[in-house]
């Protein structure tokens, strides 16, 4: 067996080779309340033997990294590559397999962490170690020893952790607004649970805990999960709504994201009108108005009765564009009438919608191309987030599986540079029917269009709950960095950001350069 430490902000692939001069020691800089993370690459293993891992000098948790396929590359603009149009900005040409899913092996045990025995099933395996730093940990350095045993073959590695005298704030009302949309139905289905049974509720709580670990502080409430049709009218399941809010609040989230009232009337993306999602009535018709009023009234009774007004953000319809902007404007006016005082947020970037939303949420590349416009919206009191999905591709920041792992880590740095106040992604666990995310990453999206690798999800349905991914962890670290960057004088923060990120399409791909910038950030934040 051969073993070495690898950078946790660089992907490992299933053909990764331990170097001729393997890296046996590593030093990491981390804030109080953060996590020191390292990857361990193992070569020359004998299948059938037993692998054991142990660390002394710190409490921690071991994970086995599982490789998943990348069947096709992301396109130059988005989706997957079109015939004859290659994307030169991918980290690796498909097809290949990349280590992304994180199978938990142990929890912390006293002052050490030891894995349960694991059967070796491949000559190449990858591990990840997390060493959490307490919020009140003393500043200074300490050293951990990592011991790996593969069927009697030992390896020893050294991890030095430098704790800086600054603390990452907890997730909550004051932290960076961040939402991943999730499927409650799939939390039951992918774990073989009865929908809305007690085991399902416990599973929802596990997902909520992992989201908060990733620094998500907003949870959405899709209307289809809390409304049922009775005698042709939507009726709110008030008990379920209250319990959902309580579960996510108990996990540490603060903001509630009211699900969309409607969607396009037809399957045509350019449909000029929207319809009420629960009833399919035309949103701006008399019937649609009555449906909307009934839905909104029931929600407002709960929002006001439970004191959620300062926490609730409301969606109207997803991604309105120029062809349906007129209908969207009327639709949002109707929602404001029946839900007064609640901020409206939607994934939109069409400039003709000024005055319709309180929180703009353009795709990353569209924000950068139209910065002057979005700056003007901030000047009149609006807020600007950003989002990624199956777009953008090419050189732009996204969190897809054929991109460098630094890209999601840089989300927080980009948000700090451009004064963006939130991030949205549609896919926490939106696996498509028949998709095993451990064996399929690229899925159909209608016709010949395909969603790129990893777009549908950033967590995996593990044996006993959701499993994190190295992409979720990288994004978490970047959001933690955002919290420290915004504490600094703006000019100082911009000077620290400049060496690693100039734009959403202009950034370092060198993990060492990124680590140096983070170390400088930690030092600056430690002295105020």
User: Averaged over 401-421, what is the pLDDT?
Assistant: 98
146 in any annotated domain? yes
Q: Examine the pLDDT at 111 and tell me if it is beyond 70.
A: no
Residues 6+ apart with CB under 8 A from 334: 283, 284, 289, 292
User: Averaged over 269-295, what is the pLDDT?
Assistant: 98
- The DSSP call for residue 66 is E
Three-state secondary-structure class, residue 290? helix
Q: What is the pLDDT of residues 445-492, one digit of tens each?
A: 988 899 999 999 999 999 999 999 999 999 999 999 999 999 999 999
C-beta separation of 100 from 471 below 8 A? yes
Pairing of strands 255-258, 233-236: unpaired
Task: Please give the radius of gyration of the chain, using alpha carbons only, rounded to the nearest integer.
Answer: 24
435 in any annotated domain? no
Q: What is the pLDDT of residues 144-200, one digit of tens each?
A: 999 999 999 999 999 999 999 999 999 999 999 999 999 999 999 999 999 999 999
State the CB neighbour count (10 A cutoff) for residue 433.
Answer: 6
Residues 6+ apart with CB under 8 A from 354: 377
Domain span holding position 7: 2-60+106-165
Q: What is the pLDDT of residues 210-266, one digit of tens each?
A: 999 999 999 999 999 999 999 999 999 999 999 999 999 999 999 999 999 999 999
User: Averaged over 278-305, what is the pLDDT?
Assistant: 98
Q: What does the alpha-carbon distance between residue 462 and residue 507 come to, in Å, rounded to a whole number?
A: 34
User: Averaged over 120-138, what is the pLDDT?
Assistant: 97
pLDDT band, very low/low/confident/very high, at 109 (cuts 50, 70, 90): very low
Per-residue pLDDT at 116: 76
Q: What does the alpha-carbon distance between residue 276 and residue 357 come to, in Å, rounded to a whole number?
A: 18
Q: Examine the pLDDT at 112 and tell me if it is beyond 90.
A: no
How would you write 425-440 as a 3-class SS string? ECCCECCCCCCCCCCC
8 in any annotated domain? yes
User: Averaged over 42-68, what is the pLDDT?
Assistant: 95
Burial environment of residue 340 by CB neighbours within 10 A (0 to 12, 13 to 18, 19 or more)? exposed
Q: Examine the pLDDT at 110 and tell me if it is beyond 70.
A: no
C-beta separation of 172 from 217 below 8 A? yes
Residues 6+ apart with CB under 8 A from 150: 1, 42, 45, 46, 49, 50, 51, 120
107-118: b or e for each residue (b if 16 or more CB lie within 10 Å)?
Answer: eeeeebbbbeeb
361 in any annotated domain? no
Task: Say whether pTM exceeds 0.95.
Answer: yes
Q: What is the pLDDT of residues 224-238, one digit of tens each?
A: 999 999 999 999 999
**Cα separations in angstroms, 276 against 75, 121, 234, 295:** 33, 51, 11, 10
Q: Domain containing 151 — which CATH number?
A: 2.60.40.10
pLDDT band, very low/low/confident/very high, at 13 (cuts 50, 70, 90): very high
294-333: b or e for each residue (b if 16 or more CB lie within 10 Å)?
Answer: bbbebbbebbeebebeebbbbbbbbbbbeebbebbbebbe
Structural domains of the chain, count: 1
Per-residue pLDDT at 409: 98
47 in any annotated domain? yes
Pairing of strands 61-70, 423-425: unpaired
119 in any annotated domain? yes
Q: Which H or E run includes 513? A: helix 511-526
Mean pLDDT of the residues in the chain: 96
CA dihedral 476, 477, 479, 485 (to 10 degrees): 170
161 in any annotated domain? yes
Q: How many residues does the chain have?
A: 528
Per-residue pLDDT at 60: 87
pLDDT band, very low/low/confident/very high, at 117 (cuts 50, 70, 90): confident
Q: Examine the pLDDT at 528 and tell me if it is beyond 70.
A: no
Q: What does the alpha-carbon distance between residue 92 and residue 404 come to, in Å, rounded to a whole number?
A: 9
Q: Examine the pLDDT at 271 and tell me if it is beyond 90.
A: yes
User: Averaged over 429-440, what is the pLDDT?
Assistant: 98
pLDDT band, very low/low/confident/very high, at 108 (cuts 50, 70, 90): very low
242 in any annotated domain? no
């Amino acid at each position: 067996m051969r073993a070495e430490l690898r950078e946790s902000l660089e992907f490992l692939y299933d053909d990764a080779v331990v170097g001729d001069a393997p890296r046996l020691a590593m030093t990491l800089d981390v804030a109080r309340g953060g996590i020191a993370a390292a990857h361990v690459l193992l070569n020359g293993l004998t299948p059938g033997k037993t692998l054991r891992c142990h660390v002394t000098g710190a409490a921690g948790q071991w994970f086995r990294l599982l490789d998943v396929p990348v069947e096709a590359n992301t396109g130059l603009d988005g989706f997957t590559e079109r015939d004859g149009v290659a994307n030169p900005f991918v980290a690796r040409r498909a097809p290949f397999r990349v280590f992304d899913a994180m199978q938990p092996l142990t929890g912390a045990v006293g002052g050490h962490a030891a894995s349960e025995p694991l059967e070796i099933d491949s000559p190449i395996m990858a591990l990840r170690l997390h060493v959490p730093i307490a919020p009140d940990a003393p500043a200074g350095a300490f050293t951990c020893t990592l011991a790996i045993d593969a069927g009697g073959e030992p390896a020893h590695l050294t991890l030095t952790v430098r704790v800086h005298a600054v603390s990452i704030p907890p997730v909550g009302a004051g932290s960076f607004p961040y939402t991943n949309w999730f499927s409650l139905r799939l939390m039951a289905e992918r774990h073989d649970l009865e929908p809305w049974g007690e085991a399902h509720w416990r599973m929802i709580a596990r997902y909520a805990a992992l989201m908060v670990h990733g620094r998500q502080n907003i949870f959405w409430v899709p209307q289809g999960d809390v409304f049922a049709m009775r005698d042709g009218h939507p009726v709110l399941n008030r008990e379920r709504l209250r319990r959902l809010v309580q579960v996510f609040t108990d996990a540490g989230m603060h903001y509630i994201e009211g699900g969309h009232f409607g969607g396009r009337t037809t399957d045509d993306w350019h449909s000029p009108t929207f319809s009420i999602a629960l009833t399919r009535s035309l949103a701006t018709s008399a019937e649609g108005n009555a449906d909307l009023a009934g839905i909104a009234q029931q929600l407002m009774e709960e929002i006001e009765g439970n004191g959620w007004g300062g926490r609730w953000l409301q969606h109207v319809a997803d991604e309105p564009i120029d062809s349906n902007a007129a209908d969207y404007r009327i639709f949002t006016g109707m929602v404001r009438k029946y839900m007064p005082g609640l901020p409206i947020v939607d994934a939109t970037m069409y400039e003709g919608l000024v005055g319709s939303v309180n929180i703009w949420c353009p795709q990353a590349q569209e924000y950068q191309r139209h910065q002057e416009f979005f700056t003007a919206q901030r000047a009149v009191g609006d807020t600007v987030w950003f989002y990624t999905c199956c777009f953008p591709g090419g050189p732009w920041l996204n969190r897809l599986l054929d991109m460098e792992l630094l890209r999601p880590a840089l989300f927080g740095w980009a948000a700090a540079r451009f004064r963006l106040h939130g991030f949205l992604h549609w896919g926490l666990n939106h696996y498509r029917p028949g998709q095993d995310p451990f064996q399929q990453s690229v899925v159909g999206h209608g016709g010949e269009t395909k969603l790129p690798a990893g777009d549908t999800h950033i967590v995996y349905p593990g044996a006993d709950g959701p499993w994190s991914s190295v992409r979720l962890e990288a994004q978490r670290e970047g959001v933690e960095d955002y919290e420290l960057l915004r504490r600094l004088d703006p000019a100082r923060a911009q000077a620290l950001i400049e060496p690693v990120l100039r734009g959403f399409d202009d950034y370092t791909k060198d993990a060492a350069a990124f680590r140096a910038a983070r170390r400088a950030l930690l030092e600056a934040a430690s002295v105020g």
